[in-house]
A = this chain, B = another copy of it.
Amino acid sequence: MSRRRMMRLGMSMRGLGYHPAAWRHPSVPADGTLRFEHYVRSAQAAERGLFDMIFFADGIGIRERDEPKGSLARSGYELVEMEPMTLLPALAPLTKHIGLVTTASTTYNEPYHVARKFATLDLISGGRAGWNIVTSWSQAEAQNFNRAEHLDYDTRYERAAEFVEVVKGLWDSWEPDALIYDRASGVFYDESKMHLLNHKGKHFQVMGPLNVAGMPQGRPILVQAGASDPGREIAAASADVVYAAQDNVASAKAYYDDVKGRMAKYGREPGALKIMPGVRTVVGRTREEAQAKFDQLQDLLDPLVGLARVYASLGDLTGFDLDGPVPEPQRPPQVRSSTERLLARARAQNLTIRQLYQQSVAGGFCLIGTAQDIVDGLQEWFEAGACDGFNVLPTHLPESCEDFVDHVTPELQRRGLFRTAYEGATLRENLGLKPHLNRYSAAGAVSASAAE
Protein backbone atom coordinates (compact mmCIF):
# COMPACT_ATOMS: atom_id res chain seq x y z
CA MET A 1 0.00 0.00 0.00
CA SER A 2 1.44 3.33 -0.98
CA ARG A 3 2.07 5.89 1.71
CA ARG A 4 -0.54 8.60 1.95
CA ARG A 5 0.45 11.96 0.52
CA MET A 6 1.16 14.38 3.35
CA MET A 7 0.64 18.11 3.51
CA ARG A 8 3.75 20.36 3.67
CA LEU A 9 3.62 23.34 5.98
CA GLY A 10 5.69 26.49 6.25
CA MET A 11 5.36 29.19 8.90
CA SER A 12 5.95 32.73 7.62
CA MET A 13 7.68 34.47 10.44
CA ARG A 14 8.49 37.96 9.25
CA GLY A 15 8.22 40.64 11.87
CA LEU A 16 5.38 40.54 14.36
CA GLY A 17 3.02 38.76 12.02
CA TYR A 18 1.03 39.69 8.94
CA HIS A 19 -1.62 41.95 10.41
CA PRO A 20 -0.39 45.58 10.33
CA ALA A 21 -1.85 46.24 13.79
CA ALA A 22 -0.06 43.23 15.33
CA TRP A 23 2.33 45.44 17.28
CA ARG A 24 -0.61 46.93 19.24
CA HIS A 25 -1.99 43.53 20.24
CA PRO A 26 -1.64 42.97 24.00
CA SER A 27 0.01 39.55 23.56
CA VAL A 28 2.65 40.82 21.13
CA PRO A 29 6.03 42.25 22.20
CA ALA A 30 5.86 45.56 20.31
CA ASP A 31 9.66 45.66 20.11
CA GLY A 32 9.86 41.98 19.15
CA THR A 33 11.41 42.49 15.72
CA LEU A 34 14.56 43.73 17.45
CA ARG A 35 14.57 41.01 20.12
CA PHE A 36 16.15 37.67 19.39
CA GLU A 37 13.97 35.79 21.90
CA HIS A 38 10.87 36.83 19.96
CA TYR A 39 12.08 34.92 16.91
CA VAL A 40 13.31 31.99 19.01
CA ARG A 41 9.91 31.52 20.59
CA SER A 42 8.01 31.39 17.29
CA ALA A 43 10.62 29.19 15.61
CA GLN A 44 10.54 26.70 18.45
CA ALA A 45 6.74 26.70 18.43
CA ALA A 46 6.71 25.99 14.70
CA GLU A 47 9.16 23.14 15.24
CA ARG A 48 7.01 21.75 18.04
CA GLY A 49 4.22 21.77 15.44
CA LEU A 50 6.44 19.78 13.03
CA PHE A 51 6.37 22.47 10.36
CA ASP A 52 8.61 21.73 7.40
CA MET A 53 10.11 25.19 7.55
CA ILE A 54 10.00 28.69 8.82
CA PHE A 55 10.06 31.29 6.09
CA PHE A 56 11.26 34.88 6.12
CA ALA A 57 10.20 37.41 3.54
CA ASP A 58 12.48 40.43 3.41
CA GLY A 59 12.89 43.94 2.08
CA ILE A 60 16.20 45.74 1.79
CA GLY A 61 14.80 49.03 2.93
CA ILE A 62 11.54 50.47 4.20
CA ARG A 63 9.20 50.03 1.29
CA GLU A 64 6.23 51.77 2.79
CA ARG A 65 5.91 55.48 2.13
CA ASP A 66 4.58 58.10 4.51
CA GLU A 67 1.36 58.52 2.54
CA PRO A 68 -0.92 59.81 3.89
CA LYS A 69 1.43 61.92 5.99
CA GLY A 70 1.91 60.52 9.49
CA SER A 71 0.91 56.96 8.56
CA LEU A 72 4.43 55.54 8.53
CA ALA A 73 5.17 56.47 12.15
CA ARG A 74 1.96 54.65 13.16
CA SER A 75 2.57 51.59 11.03
CA GLY A 76 4.99 49.46 13.05
CA TYR A 77 4.99 47.06 10.11
CA GLU A 78 8.15 46.09 8.21
CA LEU A 79 9.95 49.15 9.57
CA VAL A 80 12.76 47.89 11.76
CA GLU A 81 13.55 44.20 11.96
CA MET A 82 16.45 41.79 11.97
CA GLU A 83 18.18 40.96 8.70
CA PRO A 84 17.05 37.37 8.13
CA MET A 85 20.26 35.98 6.59
CA THR A 86 21.96 36.95 9.88
CA LEU A 87 19.05 35.86 12.04
CA LEU A 88 18.55 32.36 10.64
CA PRO A 89 22.03 31.03 11.49
CA ALA A 90 21.40 32.12 15.08
CA LEU A 91 18.16 30.11 15.13
CA ALA A 92 19.94 27.02 13.80
CA PRO A 93 21.54 25.85 17.06
CA LEU A 94 18.28 26.48 18.94
CA THR A 95 16.25 24.21 16.66
CA LYS A 96 16.88 20.70 15.36
CA HIS A 97 14.56 19.75 12.53
CA ILE A 98 12.79 22.71 11.03
CA GLY A 99 13.85 24.16 7.68
CA LEU A 100 15.31 27.68 7.69
CA VAL A 101 14.26 29.55 4.57
CA THR A 102 14.94 33.17 3.83
CA THR A 103 14.95 35.69 1.08
CA ALA A 104 17.85 37.11 -0.90
CA SER A 105 17.32 39.44 -3.81
CA THR A 106 19.01 38.68 -7.13
CA THR A 107 18.84 42.36 -8.03
CA TYR A 108 20.92 43.69 -5.14
CA ASN A 109 23.29 40.82 -4.37
CA GLU A 110 26.17 38.99 -5.99
CA PRO A 111 25.84 35.26 -6.65
CA TYR A 112 29.14 34.36 -4.95
CA HIS A 113 27.97 35.88 -1.64
CA VAL A 114 24.56 34.22 -1.85
CA ALA A 115 26.05 30.83 -2.73
CA ARG A 116 28.52 31.02 0.18
CA LYS A 117 26.04 32.19 2.79
CA PHE A 118 23.34 29.63 2.04
CA ALA A 119 25.92 26.86 1.76
CA THR A 120 27.21 27.86 5.20
CA LEU A 121 23.70 27.96 6.63
CA ASP A 122 23.18 24.46 5.28
CA LEU A 123 26.34 23.28 7.08
CA ILE A 124 25.51 25.01 10.36
CA SER A 125 21.94 23.70 10.41
CA GLY A 126 22.76 20.16 9.34
CA GLY A 127 20.91 20.48 6.03
CA ARG A 128 18.01 22.82 6.68
CA ALA A 129 18.77 25.85 4.48
CA GLY A 130 16.49 27.26 1.83
CA TRP A 131 16.82 30.30 -0.40
CA ASN A 132 13.74 32.27 -1.38
CA ILE A 133 14.65 33.86 -4.70
CA VAL A 134 13.21 37.33 -5.29
CA THR A 135 14.00 40.15 -7.70
CA SER A 136 12.78 43.06 -5.49
CA TRP A 137 10.45 45.69 -6.86
CA SER A 138 10.41 48.87 -4.79
CA GLN A 139 11.96 52.21 -5.48
CA ALA A 140 12.89 52.43 -1.80
CA GLU A 141 15.22 49.47 -2.20
CA ALA A 142 16.71 50.79 -5.44
CA GLN A 143 17.55 54.03 -3.65
CA ASN A 144 19.53 52.15 -1.01
CA PHE A 145 21.63 50.56 -3.76
CA ASN A 146 22.87 53.38 -5.97
CA ARG A 147 19.84 53.58 -8.22
CA ALA A 148 17.21 56.27 -8.62
CA GLU A 149 14.73 53.74 -10.07
CA HIS A 150 14.47 50.00 -9.79
CA LEU A 151 15.54 47.87 -12.73
CA ASP A 152 12.86 47.18 -15.29
CA TYR A 153 10.97 43.94 -15.06
CA ASP A 154 12.59 42.12 -17.98
CA THR A 155 16.12 42.97 -16.90
CA ARG A 156 15.39 41.88 -13.33
CA TYR A 157 14.09 38.51 -14.49
CA GLU A 158 16.90 37.99 -16.97
CA ARG A 159 19.42 38.80 -14.25
CA ALA A 160 17.59 36.52 -11.80
CA ALA A 161 17.68 33.55 -14.16
CA GLU A 162 21.42 33.96 -14.74
CA PHE A 163 22.03 34.60 -11.03
CA VAL A 164 20.36 31.32 -10.07
CA GLU A 165 22.35 29.39 -12.65
CA VAL A 166 25.61 30.83 -11.30
CA VAL A 167 24.69 29.99 -7.71
CA LYS A 168 23.75 26.43 -8.65
CA GLY A 169 27.00 26.11 -10.56
CA LEU A 170 29.04 27.35 -7.59
CA TRP A 171 27.26 24.92 -5.27
CA ASP A 172 28.49 22.07 -7.48
CA SER A 173 32.16 23.25 -7.34
CA TRP A 174 33.19 20.28 -5.21
CA GLU A 175 31.92 16.79 -5.89
CA PRO A 176 30.69 15.10 -2.72
CA ASP A 177 33.79 12.91 -2.49
CA ALA A 178 36.27 15.62 -3.52
CA LEU A 179 37.57 16.23 -0.01
CA ILE A 180 39.85 13.37 1.03
CA TYR A 181 41.65 14.73 4.12
CA ASP A 182 44.43 12.15 3.80
CA ARG A 183 46.75 13.16 6.60
CA ALA A 184 49.30 10.46 5.76
CA SER A 185 49.82 11.33 2.09
CA GLY A 186 49.19 15.04 2.62
CA VAL A 187 46.45 15.18 -0.02
CA PHE A 188 43.55 17.37 1.10
CA TYR A 189 41.37 17.05 -1.97
CA ASP A 190 41.15 15.18 -5.23
CA GLU A 191 42.02 17.67 -7.95
CA SER A 192 39.87 15.88 -10.51
CA LYS A 193 36.77 16.51 -8.37
CA MET A 194 37.07 20.26 -7.88
CA HIS A 195 35.59 22.30 -10.73
CA LEU A 196 35.98 25.92 -11.74
CA LEU A 197 32.71 27.40 -12.92
CA ASN A 198 34.30 29.97 -15.21
CA HIS A 199 30.91 31.54 -15.94
CA LYS A 200 30.96 34.37 -18.47
CA GLY A 201 27.46 35.69 -18.96
CA LYS A 202 25.64 38.92 -19.69
CA HIS A 203 25.23 39.96 -16.05
CA PHE A 204 27.89 37.95 -14.26
CA GLN A 205 31.42 36.72 -14.72
CA VAL A 206 32.28 34.29 -11.96
CA MET A 207 35.33 32.05 -11.92
CA GLY A 208 34.78 29.94 -8.81
CA PRO A 209 35.25 27.54 -7.21
CA LEU A 210 33.06 28.22 -4.20
CA ASN A 211 35.15 28.14 -1.01
CA VAL A 212 32.48 26.14 0.85
CA ALA A 213 31.71 22.47 0.31
CA GLY A 214 30.04 19.45 1.83
CA MET A 215 26.46 20.70 2.18
CA PRO A 216 24.27 18.07 3.88
CA GLN A 217 21.49 18.71 1.36
CA GLY A 218 23.86 18.67 -1.62
CA ARG A 219 22.55 22.16 -2.18
CA PRO A 220 20.03 24.32 -0.29
CA ILE A 221 16.34 24.22 -1.19
CA LEU A 222 15.23 26.79 -3.77
CA VAL A 223 11.99 28.63 -3.09
CA GLN A 224 10.27 30.97 -5.48
CA ALA A 225 7.01 32.88 -5.78
CA GLY A 226 6.48 31.96 -9.41
CA ALA A 227 3.56 34.31 -9.97
CA SER A 228 4.23 35.91 -13.36
CA ASP A 229 4.86 34.01 -16.59
CA PRO A 230 8.69 34.22 -16.42
CA GLY A 231 8.42 33.48 -12.70
CA ARG A 232 6.47 30.31 -13.46
CA GLU A 233 9.13 29.22 -15.93
CA ILE A 234 11.93 29.72 -13.37
CA ALA A 235 9.86 27.79 -10.84
CA ALA A 236 9.21 24.93 -13.26
CA ALA A 237 12.86 24.84 -14.28
CA SER A 238 14.60 25.24 -10.93
CA ALA A 239 12.49 25.63 -7.80
CA ASP A 240 11.96 22.99 -5.13
CA VAL A 241 9.15 24.95 -3.48
CA VAL A 242 6.76 27.59 -4.78
CA TYR A 243 5.27 30.06 -2.32
CA ALA A 244 2.08 30.77 -4.22
CA ALA A 245 -0.53 33.46 -3.66
CA GLN A 246 -4.03 32.36 -4.64
CA ASP A 247 -7.36 33.34 -3.14
CA ASN A 248 -9.68 30.54 -4.25
CA VAL A 249 -9.43 26.86 -4.92
CA ALA A 250 -10.27 27.11 -8.62
CA SER A 251 -7.55 29.61 -9.43
CA ALA A 252 -5.15 27.72 -7.17
CA LYS A 253 -5.80 24.49 -9.06
CA ALA A 254 -5.38 26.21 -12.41
CA TYR A 255 -2.10 27.68 -11.23
CA TYR A 256 -0.94 24.35 -9.83
CA ASP A 257 -1.68 22.48 -13.03
CA ASP A 258 -0.05 25.17 -15.15
CA VAL A 259 3.24 25.24 -13.25
CA LYS A 260 3.47 21.47 -12.85
CA GLY A 261 2.67 21.13 -16.56
CA ARG A 262 5.70 23.25 -17.44
CA MET A 263 8.12 20.92 -15.64
CA ALA A 264 8.30 18.07 -18.15
CA LYS A 265 10.19 20.14 -20.69
CA TYR A 266 12.92 20.62 -18.09
CA GLY A 267 13.04 16.88 -17.46
CA ARG A 268 11.49 17.18 -14.03
CA GLU A 269 8.82 15.05 -12.34
CA PRO A 270 5.86 16.99 -10.88
CA GLY A 271 6.74 15.70 -7.41
CA ALA A 272 10.08 17.50 -7.52
CA LEU A 273 8.29 20.79 -6.88
CA LYS A 274 6.08 21.52 -3.88
CA ILE A 275 3.50 24.26 -4.44
CA MET A 276 2.45 25.86 -1.17
CA PRO A 277 0.03 28.80 -1.28
CA GLY A 278 -0.09 31.28 1.55
CA VAL A 279 -3.02 31.07 3.94
CA ARG A 280 -4.05 33.40 6.76
CA THR A 281 -5.57 31.58 9.69
CA VAL A 282 -7.28 32.71 12.87
CA VAL A 283 -8.36 29.83 15.08
CA GLY A 284 -10.73 29.87 18.07
CA ARG A 285 -12.46 27.28 20.22
CA THR A 286 -15.66 28.54 18.60
CA ARG A 287 -16.27 30.48 15.40
CA GLU A 288 -17.34 33.43 17.50
CA GLU A 289 -14.09 33.39 19.44
CA ALA A 290 -12.07 33.24 16.22
CA GLN A 291 -13.99 36.12 14.71
CA ALA A 292 -13.60 38.13 17.93
CA LYS A 293 -9.83 37.54 17.80
CA PHE A 294 -9.70 38.87 14.29
CA ASP A 295 -12.00 41.80 15.06
CA GLN A 296 -9.74 42.78 17.94
CA LEU A 297 -6.88 43.25 15.48
CA GLN A 298 -9.06 45.07 12.99
CA ASP A 299 -10.18 47.46 15.73
CA LEU A 300 -6.52 48.14 16.57
CA LEU A 301 -5.78 49.13 13.00
CA ASP A 302 -5.04 52.86 13.05
CA PRO A 303 -7.16 54.66 10.40
CA LEU A 304 -4.06 56.39 8.98
CA VAL A 305 -2.39 52.99 8.56
CA GLY A 306 -5.54 51.64 6.97
CA LEU A 307 -5.74 54.59 4.59
CA ALA A 308 -2.09 54.06 3.66
CA ARG A 309 -3.11 50.62 2.38
CA VAL A 310 -5.39 52.12 -0.26
CA TYR A 311 -3.43 55.34 -0.92
CA ALA A 312 -1.69 54.13 -4.06
CA SER A 313 -5.01 53.12 -5.60
CA LEU A 314 -7.43 55.72 -4.28
CA GLY A 315 -5.30 58.69 -3.22
CA ASP A 316 -5.51 60.59 0.07
CA LEU A 317 -8.84 59.86 1.79
CA THR A 318 -7.96 61.48 5.13
CA GLY A 319 -10.57 64.25 4.69
CA PHE A 320 -13.47 61.80 4.28
CA ASP A 321 -15.82 60.13 6.73
CA LEU A 322 -14.33 56.66 7.32
CA ASP A 323 -17.82 55.26 7.81
CA GLY A 324 -19.15 56.87 4.68
CA PRO A 325 -18.97 55.68 1.07
CA VAL A 326 -15.73 55.38 -0.90
CA PRO A 327 -15.41 58.51 -3.07
CA GLU A 328 -14.16 58.70 -6.65
CA PRO A 329 -10.38 59.40 -6.71
CA GLN A 330 -9.68 63.16 -6.77
CA ARG A 331 -6.51 62.81 -8.87
CA PRO A 332 -5.32 60.12 -11.29
CA PRO A 333 -4.22 57.21 -9.09
CA GLN A 334 -0.69 55.75 -9.07
CA VAL A 335 -1.92 52.21 -9.67
CA ARG A 336 -4.85 52.32 -12.04
CA SER A 337 -5.61 48.60 -12.29
CA SER A 338 -6.18 48.15 -8.59
CA THR A 339 -8.19 51.40 -8.46
CA GLU A 340 -10.83 49.94 -10.70
CA ARG A 341 -10.82 46.62 -8.85
CA LEU A 342 -11.14 48.25 -5.42
CA LEU A 343 -13.82 50.70 -6.52
CA ALA A 344 -15.84 47.94 -8.14
CA ARG A 345 -15.67 45.89 -4.97
CA ALA A 346 -16.64 48.86 -2.81
CA ARG A 347 -19.64 49.59 -5.01
CA ALA A 348 -20.74 45.96 -5.32
CA GLN A 349 -20.59 45.33 -1.56
CA ASN A 350 -21.61 48.85 -0.58
CA LEU A 351 -18.46 49.21 1.56
CA THR A 352 -17.42 52.17 3.68
CA ILE A 353 -13.85 53.46 3.53
CA ARG A 354 -13.10 51.66 6.80
CA GLN A 355 -14.59 48.39 5.58
CA LEU A 356 -12.58 48.63 2.37
CA TYR A 357 -9.21 49.04 4.04
CA GLN A 358 -10.07 46.43 6.64
CA GLN A 359 -10.85 43.99 3.82
CA SER A 360 -7.50 44.68 2.21
CA VAL A 361 -5.80 43.43 5.39
CA ALA A 362 -7.65 40.12 5.25
CA GLY A 363 -7.00 39.56 1.55
CA GLY A 364 -6.09 36.32 -0.15
CA PHE A 365 -6.91 32.86 1.19
CA CYS A 366 -8.12 33.53 4.73
CA LEU A 367 -9.64 31.04 7.17
CA ILE A 368 -11.26 32.21 10.41
CA GLY A 369 -12.97 29.63 12.60
CA THR A 370 -12.49 26.51 14.68
CA ALA A 371 -9.67 24.05 14.06
CA GLN A 372 -12.23 21.89 12.23
CA ASP A 373 -13.24 24.79 10.01
CA ILE A 374 -9.66 25.61 9.17
CA VAL A 375 -8.68 22.03 8.42
CA ASP A 376 -11.82 21.68 6.30
CA GLY A 377 -10.59 24.62 4.24
CA LEU A 378 -7.03 23.35 3.93
CA GLN A 379 -8.18 19.83 3.15
CA GLU A 380 -10.48 21.03 0.38
CA TRP A 381 -7.60 22.68 -1.46
CA PHE A 382 -5.22 19.84 -0.79
CA GLU A 383 -7.56 17.11 -1.99
CA ALA A 384 -8.69 19.15 -4.98
CA GLY A 385 -5.10 19.00 -6.25
CA ALA A 386 -4.67 22.74 -5.83
CA CYS A 387 -1.51 22.53 -3.69
CA ASP A 388 1.02 20.33 -1.92
CA GLY A 389 0.65 22.20 1.36
CA PHE A 390 0.53 25.73 2.71
CA ASN A 391 2.56 28.61 4.01
CA VAL A 392 0.79 29.90 7.08
CA LEU A 393 0.64 33.67 7.49
CA PRO A 394 0.03 34.27 11.20
CA THR A 395 -1.77 37.49 12.07
CA HIS A 396 0.40 38.16 15.12
CA LEU A 397 3.38 36.43 16.71
CA PRO A 398 4.03 34.36 18.63
CA GLU A 399 0.36 33.77 19.53
CA SER A 400 -1.00 32.91 16.06
CA CYS A 401 1.82 30.47 15.49
CA GLU A 402 1.23 28.81 18.84
CA ASP A 403 -2.53 28.72 18.22
CA PHE A 404 -1.98 26.90 14.95
CA VAL A 405 0.39 24.41 16.50
CA ASP A 406 -1.81 23.77 19.52
CA HIS A 407 -5.14 23.49 17.72
CA VAL A 408 -4.87 23.12 13.94
CA THR A 409 -1.88 20.76 13.76
CA PRO A 410 -3.52 18.10 15.99
CA GLU A 411 -6.65 18.19 13.82
CA LEU A 412 -4.55 17.79 10.66
CA GLN A 413 -2.84 14.82 12.30
CA ARG A 414 -6.14 13.27 13.39
CA ARG A 415 -7.25 13.30 9.77
CA GLY A 416 -3.97 11.76 8.62
CA LEU A 417 -3.07 14.82 6.56
CA PHE A 418 0.11 15.75 8.40
CA ARG A 419 3.13 14.04 9.94
CA THR A 420 3.32 13.04 13.59
CA ALA A 421 7.13 13.17 13.61
CA TYR A 422 9.83 14.49 11.32
CA GLU A 423 10.67 11.79 8.78
CA GLY A 424 14.10 12.93 7.68
CA ALA A 425 17.27 14.61 8.85
CA THR A 426 17.20 17.46 6.32
CA LEU A 427 14.63 19.87 4.94
CA ARG A 428 15.02 18.14 1.58
CA GLU A 429 14.12 14.80 3.13
CA ASN A 430 11.20 16.20 5.11
CA LEU A 431 9.80 17.77 1.96
CA GLY A 432 10.04 14.40 0.24
CA LEU A 433 12.48 15.62 -2.39
CA LYS A 434 15.12 13.45 -4.01
CA PRO A 435 18.79 13.87 -3.14
CA HIS A 436 20.66 16.50 -5.11
CA LEU A 437 22.98 15.05 -7.72
CA ASN A 438 26.14 17.07 -8.32
CA ARG A 439 26.33 17.84 -12.06
CA TYR A 440 29.86 16.49 -12.37
CA SER A 441 29.21 13.31 -10.41
CA ALA A 442 26.11 12.83 -12.53
CA ALA A 443 28.08 13.27 -15.73
CA GLY A 444 30.67 10.84 -14.42
CA ALA A 445 27.98 8.32 -13.50
CA VAL A 446 26.45 8.58 -16.97
CA SER A 447 29.74 8.19 -18.80
CA ALA A 448 30.71 5.30 -16.53
CA SER A 449 27.47 3.51 -17.25
CA ALA A 450 27.78 4.27 -20.98
CA ALA A 451 31.22 2.68 -20.92
CA GLU A 452 29.93 -0.60 -19.49
* Residue numbers in B under 8 Å from A121 (CB-CB): 86
- B-side contacts of A89, CB under 8 Å: 86-90
Q: Mark out the residues of chain A between 40 and 97 whose CB falls within 8 Å of any chain B CB in the assembled complex.
A: 59-62, 70, 72-76, 78-83, 85-90, 92-94
A179 on the B face (CB < 8 A): yes
Q: Are A87 and B124 in contact (CB under 8 A)?
A: yes
The answer to whether A36 touches B189 (Cβ under 8 A) is no
Residue numbers in B under 8 Å from A85 (CB-CB) = 86, 117
How many residues on chain A are close to B (CB under 8 Å)?
75
Q: Which residue of B lies closest to A140 (CB)?
A: B207
A92 partner residues in chain B, CB cutoff 8 A: 90
Asked if A30 is an interface residue, CB under 8 A from chain B, the answer is yes
* Nearest CB on B from A298, distance (A): 14
Q: Say which one of A208-216, A245-253, A336-344, A429-437 lies at the interface with B.
A: A208-216
The CA-CA distance from A89 to B87 in the complex, in Å, is 7
Which chain A residues (304-342) contact chain B, with CB distance < 8 Å?
A: 305
Segment at the interface with B among A2-10, A105-113, A275-283:
A105-113
Indicate if the CB atoms of A82 and B34 lie closer than 8 Å.
Answer: no
A146 to chain B, nearest CB (A): 5
Would B73 and A214 count as touching, CB distance under 8 A?
Answer: no
> Closest CB-CB distance, A405 to chain B, in whole Å?
22
Segment of A180-188, A261-269, A365-373, A407-415 in the binding face:
A180-188
- Asked whether A62 lies within 8 Å of B211 as measured between CB atoms, the reply is yes
Does A119 reach chain B (CB closer than 8 Å)? yes
Q: Which residues of B contact A74 (CB under 8 A)?
A: 186-188
Known: A86-B124, A94-B93, A112-B61. A187 touches B81 (CB 8 A): no
A212 touches B124 (CB 8 A): no
Q: How far is the CB of A91 from chain B (nearest CB, A)?
A: 8
* B87/A186 in contact, CB under 8 A: no
* A188 x B23 contact (CB < 8 A): yes
Complex CA distance for A78 and B212, rounded to whole angstroms: 10
- Name A110-152 residues within 8 Å CB distance of B: 110, 112-113, 116-117, 119-121, 123-124, 140, 143-148
Q: Using Cβ atoms and an 8 Å threshold, which residues of chain B touch A302?
A: 186
Considering the complex, give the chain B residue whose CB is closest to the CB of A192. B73
State how many angstroms separate the Cβ of A116 from the closest Cβ of chain B: 4
Complex formed: what's the CA distance from A59 to B34 in Å? 30
Name the residue on B nearest A139 (C-beta). B207
Question: Are A83 and B212 closer than 8 Å at their CB atoms?
Answer: yes
Q: Do A116 and B73 touch across chains, with their CB atoms under 8 A apart? A: no
Interface residue? A354 (CB, 8 A): no
Q: Contact between B24 and A183 (Cβ–Cβ < 8 Å)?
A: yes
Distance (whole angstroms) from the CB of A212 to the closest CB of chain B? 6
Among candidates B36, B108, B112, residue contacting A123 with C-beta atoms closer than 8 Å: B36
**Chain B: CB-nearest residue to A61:** B211
Q: Which of A145-192 contact B (CB under 8 A)?
A: 145-148, 174, 179, 181, 183, 186-191
Q: Mark A196-212, 1 if CB is under 8 A from B, else 0.
A: 00000000111111011
Residue of B nearest to A204 (CB): B146
Cα-based distance from A319 to B305 in the complex (angstroms) = 75
Chain B neighbourhood of A288, CB < 8 A: none
Tell whether, in the assembled complex, residue A144 and residue B73 are in contact, meaning their CB atoms are under 8 Å apart.
no
- On whether the beta carbons of B120 and A183 are closer than 8 Å, the reply is no
Contacts A86-B85, A117-B86, A121-B86; A112 near B145 (Cβ below 8 A): yes
User: Looking across the interface, which residue of chain B has its beta carbon closest to that of A189?
Assistant: B73
Q: Answer whether residue A257 sits at the interface, using C-beta atoms and an 8 A cutoff.
A: no
User: Lowest 7 CB-CB distances: which A-B pairs, in order?
Assistant: A76-B188, A143-B207, A30-B181, A86-B120, A89-B90, A83-B120, A186-B302
Please name 6 further chain A to chain B contacts, defined as beta carbons within 8 Å, in addition to the given A34-B212, A61-B207, sorted by A numbering.
A34-B214, A85-B86, A90-B93, A108-B112, A109-B113, A148-B205
